[in-house]
Amino acid sequence: MADPININLPKPGQPVPAFLKYGFIAFVAIFFLSFVKPFVTVGPGQRGVVMNFGQVQDQVLGEGLHFIIPVVQSVQLIDVRIQKAQTNVDAASKDLQDISSTIAINYQIVPDAANIVFQELGPAYKERIIDPAVQEMMKAVAAKYTAEELITKREKVKSETKALLSERLIRSNIRVEDFSIVNFSFSAQFTAAIESKQEAEQMAIKAVRDLERIEIEAKQTVAAAKAQAEALRLQKQVLSKDLIELRKIEATLKAIEKWDGRMPKVTAGAMPFVDVDAVK
């Protein structure tokens, strides 16, 4: 049978041993830290909204470890990193074409105003502020352009809408970092009309190119014909001169063949001169 464990407790009037005293202090400290929590940790990309008995204070806690007054104070963590939101918008163009688009924005809560956003907007600020603002600004800009211009001037439409939206949301302490029009879609009739117009433009471009090609080929043919005609003309001139000289020589030879070697007694004019050396 095991011997009983004897715990020597201090008698009344005796000093408490150090290990008991510090052990009790450590226990109280652990209990206090575990259940009362007099500190809060604000993580990366967050801000801490301080509340005294539920009332939002002006103080906004940055990243790191912060001590608070237990029971009295509490902290609500708010994400202030850049976030993405998408909103579907139905609008009408200047020429009354129905347009459906998907708008994507990158936004950020102004870090120093996290307490105001939490107090005035709450956690559902996307549905309450961002989506309605995107729809309103996009409809206002789309009404200034025709459906075709919304396609051809897409960058201008994007810049103008972003500027209006940024001005609108910054009033609620939400900063627009980027703005994108993901897609535009139109009615089936308008889409068919656009496709027909594009086909007609492509055919017109092809016709112009074909005409230019034909003109170039015709000019090349004319130039070749002119060159050939000039070559024939020059060749004819050369042949004509040679032929004349040949006929002269043939006539001279025939005159020599008919001459009997005697000088004519009577002449009607100057005696023809025959260059004998030329026919040797």
Q: Digits of tens for pLDDT over the chain (280 positions)?
A: 455 545 555 555 556 566 556 666 766 666 665 666 788 999 999 999 999 998 999 989 999 999 888 888 889 999 999 999 999 999 888 988 888 889 999 999 999 999 999 999 988 889 999 999 999 999 999 999 988 888 888 899 999 999 999 999 999 999 999 999 988 887 777 766 666 776 667 777 777 787 788 888 778 887 777 777 777 777 666 666 666 777 777 777 777 777 666 665 555 545 555 454 444 4
Beta-sheet pairing, 98-109 with 83-92: antiparallel
Q: Is 107 strand, coil or helix?
A: strand
pLDDT at 209: 81
- State the Cα–Cα distance between residues 241 and 86, nearest whole angstrom: 92
Burial grade of 217 (CB within 10 A; 0-12, 13-18, 19 or more): exposed
Q: Point out which residues pair with 51 in neighbouring strands.
A: 56, 74
SS3 178: strand
What DSSP letter does each residue of 64-106 carry, written as one string? EEEE--TTTEEEEEEE-S-EEEEEEEEEE-TT--EEEEEEEEE
Whole-number pLDDT of residue 73: 87
Instruction: Give the C-alpha separation, 64 to 46, whole Å.
Output: 10
Which pTM does this prediction carry? 0.58
> Residue 268 has what DSSP assignment?
S
Per the CB < 8 A criterion, the answer to whether 138 and 89 are in contact is yes
pLDDT at 3: 54
- Name the token pair of 236: 């004819």
Residue 279 is predicted with a pLDDT of: 44
| 105 touches 97 (CB < 8 A) | no
Nearest to 161 by CA among 103, 97, 83: 103
User: Would you tell me how many other CB atoms lie within 10 Å of the CB of residue 107?
Assistant: 21
End-to-end CA distance of the chain: 164
The answer to whether residues 77 and 62 touch, using CB atoms and an 8 Å cutoff, is no
pLDDT in tens, 35-90: 667 889 999 999 999 999 989 999 899 999 998 888 888 899 999 999 999 999 99
pLDDT of residue 239: 60
Residue 132, amino acid: P
Question: What does DSSP assign to residue 184?
Answer: E
Tokens 């830290």 found at: 33
pLDDT at res. 81: 94
